[in-house]
Every structure is written in C-alpha cells, then in structure tokens.
Amino acid sequence: MYGENGGELRNALVTLLGQYRVNYRLLLEISRTHPPHATASRQIELTRQILRYRRTILTWCHQALEQANPNPKAERSPELYEPPDWLCRALTRLRHRNPGPLPSLSELASPQEIGILENWRRAAKAAALAEHDLDGGLGGGILTHREWLTLVGDIADITKALHILDHRYRNLPGWERLKGVRGLDQHINDCATHSQARYGIPDYNIDWRGWHPPQPEISPDADTITHVLAAEHRLLSSLTTVPSMANLRHLLHSQRELSNLAALRARDIAPEQAAQFRRREQNLAKVSRAARAAGGLAGTGASATQHSADATRLLVTIPVGAMIDVDALRNLDKLFRHVDNALHRAIEHGFNTRIYLVRNTLPRIDPADGLQPHQARQIFEPLQREGRTPLIAVARRSLRADPVRMAPPGYAAISRADLRSAVNHRRRTGGATF
C-alpha cells in the first residue's frame, strides 16, 4: 500500500535529514569494527552503496511521475507545461546525467550495522516496494487530479530532501554530486504552489491505493451471499486496467443482471437497498445502449468478466424471499458504487488513450454491404480532442458517483508534515548554515 511504503520512505529521509557531520559519523562507526588501514577503503565502499540507494529513490520518483499521470500527453509543447511536467522533465534529466547501478536484493533486504547506511536502506527498500503500487492501483492513469497533485507534492519533497542530502554528503570520499540540478528547486517550489492554489488541502486518501495482499480464501461453508461479495470484490480488484470494448459490454450486461437479481431478493428485506439496485439497473441499461456506438479491439478484462459472471451465477442460486443479512446487502451496494466508478474511469481512460473508438458515418453509400437498400458507410476512428461521444456523457451521469471513502490514515498528514519540516529546516551555528 502506498501509505505504508511512502510513509516509511519519508520517515527514513526525516532521520537522515536530522543527521549532521556525516563524514565524522561514518568514520566513528567504521573504526569500531575495522582496523585503521582499512578505514579509507571501507568508507569509499559505503559511499558507493549509499549512491546505489539514492539511485533507487530517484528511479521511483521518476517512474511514479510518468506512470501515475492521469492525463499523459505524448507530444506537448513546452509552452503548455504545468509544474508537474517540468518536474518530470527535471527528473528525467537527473536520471540520464547520473547513471549508476542499483542495489542488489541482498543490499535492500539485509539490515546494515551502520546507522546512516541502515536509514538509506530503509528508504531505498520502501522506494523499491512502492514500485509495486504503480501496478496495483496507483499507476495506469486512474488517479483523480487531486490525488495526482498529492503524489506530485510527495515526490517534490522527496526530491528536495535528496538534493539537500547531496550537498551535505559532498565531503564523503568517493561521493558523486548530482548533475543537472539547475532549476530543480524552482520546479519543486512551483509544484507546491500549484497544488496549494488548485485544491488547498491534499487528498490523503491516495494512501489507501497501491498493492494490497490477496484477500483470504472464503471458506466453502460460508453462505452464498458472502461468496457473491467476494466475487464482486475480485471484479473490483481486476478493474485496474482498461477492458476491451467487447468485455466492457459483457461487464455492463452482467452487472445489470446482477442488480436486477439483487433488487428482487432485497425487495422485502431492505426496500431502500432494492430501490438503489433498481436505479443502478436502469443506469447500466443507458450505458449499455450508448456503448453500441463505440468500438475497439485493444484492452483486457477477461478476468473481470469471469468474476462478474461468477457473482451473477452465485446470486441466482439464492431463492427470492430467502432471508439475507441486511448488512451484506449494504456492503453489496457499496461495492456496486466502487465498481461503477471503476467502469467510468475505464471508459474515460479508454477514449483518452485511443483504446476505444467512435463510430462515425461517412457521407457516401457503401455498395458492397450485401444489402438491397445500401446504407451509408460507417467507420471507427479515435475520439478527437474537441469531440464528444454519448458513451462518455452517459457514463458521467449514470456511473460516476461519490464512492464510499474511508478516512485517510492517521499518519498520512503527520509523516508529510515531518518531512516538509525537515526539508525546510536549517541548523545555524556561529552564523553558518548547514
């Protein structure tokens, strides 16, 4: 989960930012375990290991900015760049101008005896684990713009911390200063100003996103409605990518049927939930009709359609009028809202990335359509930037809703405030700033 990995990364950097006189600290700890003639070589070895850890953190910052952007632009004029685009460009330059190896698996997994090195290892390990969050719900362009700017602010603070530590470690034997940092501080400050001016308070619900351990297997002895909830939850977890148009139609149809079955079984038990299910059935019917004018061959979604079909198959086995736990029906309603929002995001992202196409009618007759009265020729083409399609409009009205959102983790704001305070802190001694 991004909240755990990001929090561990920020806490490790806060500890590093609070440590001064780094060369003296390393020499002191090395001298306890190494003879004097091996101190210099050991110090250079540790410096190179710290550089490998720093490379891991920089790599994650760059990858996160590129892969989590909800509106990526392949070609864009620099005049249209926003602060996150400039920061991403600066990180790209940093990676190219500061090549180097990454730490091995043993370097990331094995605790280090030296305190400074252990803090760098913790930060690099958290950055390496955070790469899995990009494929587990943080990347793929599914973040909201507010969540995206929260992530940009986190990356800006982490990059600034690395810049400060680079200056502080400059006297270490074998240390390599970051090249290409010109203008980096300005891009970092612009990102903070841009996020604050746009939304004010960041959206810390992003900490719930990312990779999660697989859900435990449902016991075969559990009741059927529990298996229905598990199948719908598996469907939600599999909607992190854009399904193909054929699979999207299957999903809309099976979810519509699932809502109908749930409404019949909740009619006498929970009338309020039954009304919600009926409303969802009607909304999915509208989206299904609008999807007839769209096409596309690319995409995934085979596992999602299987999970949706499993939920429908299981719910059919529950007789109408059978007693069902009301809390289970409420949880099913919450899952429906999450699934609808995931389908809406997939539709928007599918058209933005040209996975989905729009059916247009050409102003001429197709003489080879095999019909007696020839019809106008129809083609499928990408959605133009200034164009509109009924599927997007209907999906926004019918599927997009305020999902049931959990409160942000309690440590979300604290760890970010600690890092920002450590980054902006300067220790003054005798008029000198360190």
Least confident of 54-58, 251-255, 297-301: 297-301
The DSSP element (H or E) to which 25 belongs, if any, is: helix 22-31
pLDDT tens-digit readout, 369-409: 677 777 777 778 887 755 567 888 899 999 987 655 667 77
Is the confidence at residue 293, as pLDDT, over 80? yes
- Which candidate, 63, 32, 62, 25, places its Cα nearest to that of 47? 25
Is the confidence at residue 217, as pLDDT, over 80? no
**pLDDT at site 202:** 83
Is the confidence at residue 429, as pLDDT, over 50? no
pLDDT band per the 50, 70, 90 thresholds, residue 219: confident
Q: In what order do the strands lie in the sheet with 294-295?
A: 294-295, 357-365, 376-381
For the chain, give every domain's residue range.
2-210+410-429, 224-398
What number is the average pLDDT over the span 263-287? 94
pLDDT tens-digit readout, 85-130: 889 889 999 999 999 899 999 999 999 888 899 999 999 999 999 9
Bigger pLDDT: 204 vs 126: 126
Is the confidence at residue 132, as pLDDT, over 80? yes
Cα–Cα distance, 434 to 432 (Å, whole number):
7
The DSSP element (H or E) to which 381 belongs, if any, is: strand 376-381
Render 133-149 in DSSP notation, one character per residue: HIIIIISTT-S-HHHHH
**pLDDT at site 216:** 65
Is the confidence at residue 350, as pLDDT, over 70? yes
pLDDT band per the 50, 70, 90 thresholds, residue 262: very high
**pLDDT at site 81:** 80
**pLDDT at site 430:** 42
Six token digits for residue 345: 């995001």
Cα–Cα distance, 90 to 70 (Å, whole number):
19
pLDDT band per the 50, 70, 90 thresholds, residue 431: very low
Cα–Cα distance, 173 to 43 (Å, whole number):
7
- Residue 80's identity, in one-letter code, is L
Least confident of 131-140, 188-197, 210-219: 210-219
Six token digits for residue 402: 């305020």
**pTM higher than the cut 0.85:** no
What number is the average pLDDT over the span 336-354? 90
- Mean pLDDT score across all residues of the chain: 86
Six token digits for residue 46: 């540790």
